[in-house]
């Protein structure tokens, strides 16, 4: 025979008649000996009997109401269901949206860089060529020739200076015609006639080789270059071949309407 | 419910489910009509409110329609309906309790009219009726489910255990605790009400 706690766990089934025969007998034996459990079971039985077991029933109107409400809800769900996005369709829409956004952004950026009004055609002014120098002596051009047409006389090639050693030494001779570029160039090393190597350089030009071993080297001293002159000191003296000075074209300011 | 009635209902349910899966929408209407009283009664037993019970009934049948594609046989249709309805009603009660906006009994009577309820309940003392509803509502969910299914739905312990998803022994324990709780909460009414009823 179980204790009061164990028997109390069977009271629910006892009230509703759901216990097995063995359980029913066990409860009855305990109730015969335990007045407390007997009182408790009587109180629980009264409580359960107090609660009505009948329930309200649906009227015909409520039945119809439930039927139509459920049908309407299902119909709306069926209408919505075909528009549910599958993953592939959703990705397609996302790509299309990105493309549209990129196209719109590009269009707006292009409109920001250009004026919205008409295109302004700017005509460049003709190049003003100012001849400041006389043509080199061997160019053959004259002042009259230069003023006759728009042709620009290109400075002639550097003139060769003939030295005693012949034309093979011309690369070592400072071109005379570059004299006006002197201030823009760093002073070159001084030539040492005896050694043939410029001072301040580690490796000078290779010594000249002659055909015959005993032949003395020619005098490498170059003829004296003409002294550098400032343009103001030059006067009418011509700097040999100074090319035309090109003045950059003047641009007209563009007036943007609005 | 008698055994023969259950088997007949099960056979009819199987036939209606097969017709519905074949695309016949009227079969679902007939299923609704066949189980509407059962679902509404259970919902009312838990909620003790007619409008809430109607809403719960509609929700349960909408869920049933959505669950039909993966529904197996009709043998467990009643159990499925009880289980879904019970869980839904317990959720409704929990939400109403959290919202804390329940109307008083007088306000409900003015809104819906108490004559629409069952005559047995309408004839009761309003105070006792409210006390019973509160006592049942305050039961823990498992105890309330066991009590409602056994007391209102006349289910056996085995059927209750299937609906609740537990063993028969657990149902016995839940039912005994439920009657003990109700007894303690309605102790003041037992001696007086028993004589009246």
pLDDT tens digits, one per residue of B129-167: 888 888 988 899 899 999 999 998 888 898 899 888 899
pLDDT for B45: 87
Q: Which of residues 119-138 of B touch A (CB under 8 A)?
A: 120-121, 124, 128, 132, 136
Using the predicted structure, report yes or no on whether residue A144 has a pLDDT greater than 80: no
pLDDT for A136: 56
Are the C-beta atoms of residues B22 and B111 closer than 8 Å to each other?
no
Using the predicted structure, report yes or no on whether residue A205 has a pLDDT greater than 70: no
Instruction: Tell whether B115 lies on the interface with A, counting CB pairs under 8 A.
Output: no
Q: Tell if the CB–CB gap between B151 and A48 is shorter than 8 Å.
A: yes
How far lies B101's CA from each of A213, B96, B128, in Å?
A: 125, 7, 22
Q: Tell if the CB–CB gap between A12 and B50 is shorter than 8 Å.
A: no
pLDDT for B36: 93
Are the C-beta atoms of residues A63 and B33 closer than 8 Å to each other?
yes
**Domain B105-197 -> CATH class:** mainly alpha
pLDDT for B54: 92
- Enumerate the residues of chain B whose CB falls inside 8 A of the CB of residue A66: 32, 36, 40, 54, 57-58, 61
> Of A128-137, B16-25, B48-57, B173-182, which has the strongest mean pLDDT?
B173-182
- Give me A61's structure tokens: 């109107």
Using the predicted structure, report yes or no on whether residue B91 has a pLDDT greater than 80: yes
End-to-end Cα, chain A, rounded Å = 107
Domain ranges of chain B: 1-102, 105-197
> Of A87-101, A153-167, A179-193, B88-102, which has the strongest mean pLDDT?
A87-101
pLDDT for B167: 93
Closest chain B residue by Cα to residue A62? B54
pLDDT tens digits, one per residue of B96-110: 766 655 545 555 554
pLDDT for B182: 93
* Secondary element (H or E) of residue A5: helix A4-8
Residue of A251 and B84 predicted with greater confidence: B84
Using the predicted structure, report yes or no on whether residue B43 has a pLDDT greater than 80: yes
Mean pLDDT rounded to a whole number for chain A: 66
Integer Cα distance of A251 and B14 in angstroms: 93
pLDDT for B195: 40
pLDDT tens digits, one per residue of A30-67: 999 999 999 999 999 999 998 888 778 888 999 999 99
Question: Minimum mean pLDDT among A69-78, A191-200, A215-224, B36-45: which range?
Answer: A191-200
- Three-state DSSP at B92 gives helix
Using the predicted structure, report yes or no on whether residue B170 has a pLDDT greater than 90: yes
pLDDT for B33: 92
Does this model's pTM top 0.80? My answer is no
Integer Cα distance of B89 and B92 in angstroms: 5
Find tokens 């303690």 and name the residue.
Answer: B184
Using the predicted structure, report yes or no on whether residue A142 has a pLDDT greater than 60: no
Q: What is the DSSP letter of B139?
A: S
Integer Cα distance of B157 and A122 in angstroms: 99
Rounded mean pLDDT of A114-143?
A: 54
Q: How close A72 gets to chain B, by Cα (Å)? A: 10
pLDDT for A214: 47
Quickly name the fold that domain B1-102 has.
Rna Polymerase Sigma Factor; Chain: A (1.10.1740)
């Amino acid at each position: 025979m179980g204790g009061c706690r164990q028997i109390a766990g069977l009271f629910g089934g006892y009230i509703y008649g759901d216990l097995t025969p063995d359980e029913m007998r066990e409860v009855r034996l305990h109730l015969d000996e335990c007045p407390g459990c007997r009182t408790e079971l009587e109180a629980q039985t009264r409580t359960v009997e107090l609660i009505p077991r009948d329930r309200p029933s649906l009227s015909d109107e409520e039945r119809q109401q439930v039927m139509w409400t459920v049908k309407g809800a299902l119909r709306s769900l069926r209408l919505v269901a075909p528009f549910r996005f599958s993953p592939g369709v959703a990705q397609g829409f996302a790509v299309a949206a990105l493309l549209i956004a990129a196209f719109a952004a590009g269009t707006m950026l292009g409109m920001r860089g250009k004026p919205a009004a008409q295109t302004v055609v700017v005509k460049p002014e003709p190049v003003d060529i100012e001849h400041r120098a006389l043509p080199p002596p061997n160019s053959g051009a004259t002042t009259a020739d230069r003023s006759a047409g728009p042709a620009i006389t290109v400075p002639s090639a550097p003139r060769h200076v003939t030295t005693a050693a012949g034309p093979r030494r011309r690369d070592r001779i400072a071109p005379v015609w570059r004299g006006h570029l002197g201030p823009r160039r760093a002073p070159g090393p001084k030539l040492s006639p005896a050694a043939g190597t410029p001072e301040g350089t580690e490796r000078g030009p290779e010594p000249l080789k002659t055909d015959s071993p005993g032949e003395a080297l020619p005098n490498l001293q170059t003829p004296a270059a003409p002294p550098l002159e400032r343009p103001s000191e030059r006067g009418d003296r011509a700097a040999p071949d100074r090319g035309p000075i090109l003045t950059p074209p003047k641009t007209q300011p563009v007036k943007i309407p609005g | 419910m008698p055994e023969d009635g259950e088997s007949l209902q099960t056979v009819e349910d199987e036939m209606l489910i097969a017709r519905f899966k074949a695309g016949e929408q009227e079969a679902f209407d007939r299923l609704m009509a066949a189980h509407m009283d059962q679902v509404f009664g259970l919902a009312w037993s838990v909620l003790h409110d007619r409008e809430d019970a109607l809403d719960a009934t509609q929700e349960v049948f909408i869920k049933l329609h959505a669950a039909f594609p993966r529904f197996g046989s009709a043998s467990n249709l009643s159990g499925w309906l009880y289980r879904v309805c019970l869980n839904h009603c317990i959720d409704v009660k929990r939400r109403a309790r959290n919202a804390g906006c329940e109307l008083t009994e007088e306000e409900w009577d003015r809104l819906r009219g108490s004559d629409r309820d069952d005559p047995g309940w309408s004839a009761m003392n309003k105070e006792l009726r409210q006390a019973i509803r509160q006592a049942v509502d305050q039961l823990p969910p498992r105890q309330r489910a066991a009590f409602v299914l056994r007391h209102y739905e006349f289910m056996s312990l085995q059927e209750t255990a299937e609906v609740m998803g537990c063993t028969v022994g657990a149902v016995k324990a839940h039912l005994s605790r439920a009657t003990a709780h109700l007894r303690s909460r309605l102790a003041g009414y037992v001696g007086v009400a028993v004589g009246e009823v």
